[in-house]
Each structure stands twice: as structure tokens, then as C-alpha cells.
A = this chain, B = another copy of it.
């Protein structure tokens, strides 16, 4: 059952993060308890305090991992379609929602208000910043090619981000269960909404 892995070797921090991810998936962000995480990792309930100042710090590290996945995905998409900023934005959106659907509890942790994001969590903040900068780059790639109407980069980026983020949050909150169900349908929906934002809803 419980292999006596030598956590004393310094990988307890990682073991705790892994256990945290597992419990986050299982119980959701509101139910996750530090004591359960410790139990799952096979240590006493005070051991985590050697590696995290408090429960908040553990949650913050889990959220950070989520932001890093987001930043990586953005970079990847940019590299995959080097001369097609329109495709970059569309595929970036798809990746964003896919990640949210794959890690709904982490998404809720990142954006849902369970964990208050503070300036002091520099690493968390930086990971988030990196993801946003990837998006800004993709938008300014498009601007350089004269793709978009004459607008502030920030505003164009925020439009794309809001659209995709809104869909992601609605899906993870289970608000769209009647409308959008399968994974395939979600991808189709992001693509379709992306097209609407690019060409407009009006006739």
C-alpha cells in the first residue's frame, strides 16, 4: 500500500504537490485539506510546514503549475504556426479551453476566488504574466501583418482572452452542460466563437 519512499531525501515537497494535485482533482478546490494531503503523502500533518508556509502556499504552488501549463501551451502554438498569427490566435484559444476542461479544479483555483491572488506571490504572478505576454505577442504578430483593425494591442488581446476565458469558466462551472457536452463539441465551439470575434456578429 504505502511504499516507504525516503522522503527525507528532499522530495517531500514534490510528493506533497503530487498528492495535492490528486486530491484537488478528487475533491475540488474547496474540500482540499492540508491534513489530507499529508496523509496521502504518508507523513504527519505537520510535515508540510517544512516546505510550505501555510495551506495558501501549497494552493498557490498548484495554481502556479496551472499558469505554467498555460504559458507553455501559448508558446507552443506560436512556434507551431510561425507565419500565421490568425491561426496562432485561434489555436491558442482552443488550447486554453482544452486545458481548462482537462484541469477544471485547477482552473477554478486559478480564477475562482478560492485562492486570493496576491502580489507577494511573485512566482505565481510571473507565471501568469508569462502566459499573458504570450497572448500579447500573438496579437502583435497579427498587428504587424496588418491583420487587425487599428486598436490598442491590449484591447484586442483582452477581447480574445475574455471570450476564451469566459467559455472556459462556463464549461468548468458546468453551466453549459445542456448546450455543450463532448470534448469535440467544445473545440468546435471555440473555433466557431473565434471566427465570430474575428469577422463580427453583425451582417
Using a CB–CB distance below 8 Å, which chain A residues touch chain B? 28-30, 104-105, 108-109, 111-117, 128, 146-149, 151, 154-156, 158-170, 172-176, 179-180, 189, 192-193, 196-203
Contact = CB atoms under 8 A, between A and B. Distances in A.
A158 B193 contact: yes
Nearest to A154: B179
27 contacts: A30-B113, A111-B170, A112-B113, A112-B114, A114-B114, A117-B173, A146-B203, A148-B201, A149-B202, A151-B196, A151-B201, A155-B189, A155-B192, A155-B193, A158-B179, A158-B193, A159-B193, A160-B201, A162-B164, A162-B166, A165-B166, A165-B169, A166-B167, A169-B169, A197-B200, A198-B200, A199-B200
How many copies of the polypeptide does the oligomer hold? 2
Contacts of A172: 113
Contacts of A149: 199-203
A100 to B, nearest CB: 11
Given A166-B169, A167-B166, A201 B198 contact: yes
A175 B166 CA distance: 13
Contacts of A166: 161-169
Q: Say whether chain A's binding surface is mostly helix, strand, loop, or mixed.
A: helix
Contacts of A179: 154, 158
Contact of A162 (B112, B116, B170): B170
Nearest to A146: B203
B198 A156 contact: no
A112 B113 CA distance: 6
A162 B96 CA distance: 14
A159 B108 CA distance: 21
Contacts of A197: 159, 163, 196-197, 200-201
A184 to B, nearest CB: 16
A28 B201 contact: no
Nearest to A115: B30
A173 B111 CA distance: 6
